[in-house]
Amino acid sequence: MLKLFTSGCVKLFDRYLPDPLVLVVIITLLVFVAGMVIETQTPVAMLDHWMGGFWSLHTFAMQMALILVTGFIVAKAPLFTRLVAVIANVAHTPGRAIVLVTLTSLIMTWINWGIGLVIGAILARELARRVPDVDYRLLIASAYSGFLIWHGGLSGAVPLTLATPGHFLEESIGLIPTSETLLSPFNLVLVAVLLVVLPVTNRLMMRGIDHPVTLQDHEPDVGTAAPVEHDHRSDRPAERLERSPWLARLVAVMGFAAISMYIIGGGGGLNLNVVIFVLLFVGIMLHGTLRNFLDCLADGIKGTSGVLIQFPFYAGIMGMMSASGLASRMAQMFVDISTAETLPVLSFLSAGIINIFIPSGGGQWAVQGPILMEAAQSLGADLPKVAMAFAWGDSWTNMIQPFWALPALAIAGLKARDIMGFCAIILLVSGVLIASVLLIA
């Protein structure tokens, strides 16, 4: 049964799922029409909402492009390549490779979602070169599946926001410490269960693959291109500077010194900017010279096109959903049928559905958070649990939302349709699991 279901999902998504850019355009049009029909907004108003939100993720899009490129640069460094070779000796079978990539992605994402999103895909790609007969699509899907855990980890946006003085709901609900959200028993149990269930699920999906698609099948010329040759006999000062190891070391040391000062001075903890900063200067140091770094950069930057063009469209959708009242209406529909016992599960489901249209945890919480917290207070529900239920719902449908998969797909050189069949099964399994824990715990 699992074999038939896996095979069916993979074939279905491969045949009918369009490119993510086509998908985001379709969602844009649907939300535009829904705002007029359901919320009685005028076309002029909806266009204003769309354009008003279009650039709200501009900074974030640049951050994602940079983390993709800097992560690629580190992964292509000789030291990292040798490290992956050592790991490949442990995961020398397809099954072990799938389990190893899933666990690595889960653990790294729990520590920081930015690191996990990139490192998982990079490790999967490198293992695909060394482990024969492993299905490359499933390997990348397994790496992406680790992203499911991000809101329950140390960089979860919602629980960290609620614990930060001055957050926008502080006057109504006060501060909620991470001991009641991230470190609460039900959240830790859920994380522990996913650390077991996801690797097993991904491993079992191998049974639904009759003919594995390897990295060599997908991209026959990977690893065969000759390295760029430079004339090391040139005496031109500019080229000597480019090839100077001391210049690269100097700027790398300067970057490490800045990070050390940030840590010692308690600069605010690990965030996306810090991750990018560290990866950038680690990449410069590992490549030895700025010339080697630039050559690798030129290769890595090719994969950023999807991020740069699609994130503004999703920001526009977020603007229309928020300003028109569509997001609030959808959230209120679930609240109206809730009780104190069912509110966490219904918050999870509503967050998952709205996440399809607003795939930004912070942006979605700004719209849905006040409604859920007010409902939790009026029903006498557990506020921290309702907030974490929302957070898990926001993470849950990322498994079929290409927005967050774009960096991993760019690193892998795959299309969304290549992995979404596997991710749909992960969505079903994890949805039942998370909902069950929310009802029982």
CA distance 119 to 408: 9
pTM (2 d.p.): 0.84
In this structure, are residues 124 and 202 in contact, taking their beta carbons and an 8 Å threshold?
no
Query: How would DSSP label each residue in 293-314?
Result: HHHHHHHHGGGGHHHHHHHHHH
pLDDT tens column, 287-310: 999 999 999 898 888 778 877 888
Query: What's phi and psi for 183, nearest 5 deg?
Result: -100, 15
Biggest alpha carbon–alpha carbon distance for the chain = 77
CA distance 45 to 360: 23
Helix (H), strand (E), coil (C) string for 63-98: HHHHHHHHHHHHHCCHHHHHHHHHHHHHCCCHHHHH
The structure tokens 């919602």 sit at 158
pLDDT tens column, 104-140: 999 989 987 877 888 888 889 888 988 888 999 999 9
Tokens of residue 353, six digits: 């559905």
Average pLDDT along the chain, 441 residues, taken 10 residues at a time: 85 90 94 96 97 87 83 83 77 93 93 82 88 93 95 88 87 92 93 96 91 75 43 68 90 94 77 83 93 88 81 91 93 93 95 89 84 94 96 95 86 91 96 94 78
